[in-house]
Structure formats: structure tokens, C-alpha cells
Amino acid sequence: MKRKSLIGKGKIGILHFSSFRAPQDVSLYERSGRAVVYEMPSKFIVFINAIVAPEMSDSETMRDIYYSEEKKYIELRRVLVSRLGWFVRVITKVLGVSAIVSPAAHYRQEKLWAYACEEIGFPFISVHKEMTSVPQRHKEIKAIAKGASGSKWHGSIVCVANETAKEIAIKANLIDESKLVLSGLIRSDDLIGPLSSPPPDVHSLPKVITLFSFAHYTGAFLEVKAQRSKYFCKDDSHGFVKLFNVVHAAAAQFAIEHPDTIVFVKPKLTDVNWISEITRAVREGCGVDVVDIPNFRITSKPAPELIDGSRAIVALNSSVVLEGRLRGRPTILPIFEEAEGSHEDALFFRGYYDLFNLAHSKEELLEIMQIGSENKLAVVGSDKRVQEMCEHYFGFSDGMTTHRILDIIKTKKS
């Protein structure tokens, strides 16, 4: 564990789990001036789990420990919680922290810790960042699916971003409603409010366009077919298959035709499978390998850095759509192929299309990208509509979510 600093008087000490999944959250807590954060490496959590709960090495047994009401599993859970509870008391006392915080309520490796904290009365607070973009029309189905999974959330408090996430959690009976708090989406404070910083002037930027890569199953899909790798349909028969191929090939074509413009492509998952899907789409669509296009660059740079450094962005069914618009970047949505036909129902943000630049064909996408690269693409929509969108998806539009969450921690702290 990396100890960042001593906990000063009046500051809130946080032991943060899964920080690699929420680096913006950690940064915001610290920049608030109200908290000191210790980051618990996930490998250390797995290591401690293996010591105190070797019975959980088998995934089937692990599920029974979490969910079964059979007497033997209830007793085993009690024993494991007792062991881990002792460790929680020791490590939190040594560090002097007031609470354990996780960026989500469903991470399996952290469930036993949430159980243990409940047992010993130590605050375990989940700042749940999921379910923020579920379309209104899918809330009921999402709740039914979550409820049928048998999963439960544990700990002292679960903070959710917006009314949609709260409604799904209640309908799915994931946690007692008294433990559910509507706090807002913490990373939105990086975009609006006192903890944010103004984006660089787009006219001062070099010619850069960023495509935030999507996959076959990026979106509100109620069912998916077998997958060859995460988010990609095994036989290319379902999902945004044509759209993926056409958009990624178009981005490469744009880079070839505009060698003075850098085209970044950021996969959601920077693994070999997703990258190979991109390289295949480019090779089949343009007849060249990505290595032969020097200004076409697959990157793992953080999304905020890419948004601020781009003259325009291209994205689909991702929170970067909202983030790009809030940072004053023209945000292009490719709404064609399956997105305008068989899978239109899987699209996010349909009620706010007036805030984005829509491309309805490959040709229109290339044209809009060129206008964006020349700083001639307008940021569309009114401030009032932007505020409405913020409140719908982020819960609030005041940029004060970090402080709301720290206030919650302060009232619950040990």
C-alpha cells in the first residue's frame, strides 16, 4: 500500500479499494482538501482473501458463501467474516482511517470485506458508478435481471449517481432502501463545479480527433449472443457489427487522407482482443495495416486527457459522450448501420440528440470529422438543455458530488 500523507486534523481518512478503476475519484477526494486517501492494491485484497478465506478459491463455493441460506454456508460465512473482521480492525486502526470506500457495490473480491465491516460496525461505503446511462425504457427489465441474479449489495451505505440507478437498485431489492443515497456521479466534478478546471481553448490545439472505440455490444442490449471476446459477437451476427467495422475503417481512412491530423483511437478495454478487432476492421476496410498509418494511433491515454486535447471526438453509448459535450468539444455520434435500424433501441442519450453532431452515414461522418479538424464544427444545443442532461445522468449539475460523498463518510465514520 502506498501511504500518500499523514492524516491532518479535521481530515477524513479513507482506505480506497479498486482505485485503478476510479483514479478520478481518488484525485477528487484529495483535491477537495478534506480527505487523505490510502489506496489498497487489489492484489493485496486477493492475497488477504486467500489467507482468511481459502474456501473461496472455488468460484461455486464462493457464490454459495455469498448467497446461500443453507446452514453450513451461513456458518462458514460467519467464520470467514469473523477472521476478516479482525484484520479490518487492525489495518484501519494502524492507518487511522475513518472508512473503507469502493467505487462499486458489486465487486466480488470485496464482498466479504463489506460483510465483515457490517459485522464489526466499521463504515464500508460504495460509491456505485454503474447503471447511470440505462435508458428509461429499460429500467424495469434491468431491475428484473439484477434481482434474478441473486446478487446483494452489502456495507453501510451505497451512493448512486441518479434516480435511474436508485430505482433499479430498489426494484431489484439489491440493498435495504435506508442504505441507499442519491449522491451524484463523482467524476462529473472534474467537468463542472469548483474542483474542475477550464478546458484548453480548442483553437490552441493541434489537429487531433479522437475516436472512443465501441464494440458490438456497447449499449443497452437486453440480450447478447455468444462472444469470441468481451463485447464482440462470436459469429458477427448480432450487435453493432457493421457499424464497428465501418466507423473504425472510416477513422483510418480519414487519417490516411489527412496526414496532418492525428487520429487517436481509445479502446474501452486495452487488451489484445479489442485491439485486434480494430486492426482487422482497418485492414479489411482500407486494405492497409494500422502500423502503416503513422497518424492513426491506438492509445490507452486517460479519457479526460484525450477529450481536452482533441478538436472533436467521435463516440457511441459511452459516458465520454456527456463528458466531451460538457468540456466544450464537438461530439460526433455515428447513427447509421445497425444504430439506425435493428439496434436503434440499444442507443443511449436519444432524448438529448440536439446536443450532439449526428452522422447518418460513413460519408457524413468523414465530412463532419474534417469540419471538426478545422475547428469549424459548432458545439450545438442550449445551456439549459446541457443542465437538464447533467441532472438526468449525473444526478446533479452543481459540481459538489465529492463534497456530498465526504459529508456522508463523515457522518458514518468510525
DSSP string, 379-395: --S-HHHHHHHHHHHHS
Specify the pLDDT at position 80: 86
What percent of the chain lies above the pLDDT cut of 70? 92
Q: Are 16 and 37 in contact (CB under 8 A)?
A: yes
Rounded-to-integer distance, Cα 28 and Cα 293, Å: 37
Does the pLDDT at position 54 exceed 90? no
Does the pLDDT at position 81 exceed 60? yes
What percent of the chain lies above the pLDDT cut of 90? 73
Rounded-to-integer distance, Cα 286 and Cα 272, Å: 21
For the chain, list the domains and their CATH numbers: 12-193+399-412 (3.40.50), 202-394 (3.40.50.2000)
Strands 357-359 and 12-17: unpaired
Burial tier of 152 (Cβ tally within 10 Å: 0-12, 13-18, 19+): middle
Q: Tens digit of pLDDT for each residue in 115-158?
A: 899 999 999 999 999 888 877 777 776 666 666 566 788 899 99
Nearest to 334 by CA among 364, 306, 305: 364
Q: Are 180 and 158 in contact (CB under 8 A)?
A: yes
Specify the pLDDT at position 251: 98
Q: Tens digit of pLDDT for each residue in 179-220?
A: 999 999 999 999 999 999 999 999 899 999 999 999 999 998
Q: Over the chain, what is the mean pLDDT?
A: 91
pTM of the model: 0.84
Rounded-to-integer distance, Cα 373 and Cα 354, Å: 21
Rounded-to-integer distance, Cα 89 and Cα 121, Å: 10
Phi first, then psi: what are they for 361, rounded to 5°? Answer: -165, 165
Buried b (16+ CB within 10 A) or exposed e, 270-290: eeeebbebbeebbeebbeeeb
Q: Tens digit of pLDDT for each residue in 321-345?
A: 999 999 999 999 999 999 998 999 9
CB neighbours of 173 closer than 8 A, spacing ≥ 6?
147
Strands 12-17 and 99-102: parallel
Output the furthest CA–CA distance in the chain (Å, rounded). 68
Burial tier of 291 (Cβ tally within 10 Å: 0-12, 13-18, 19+): exposed
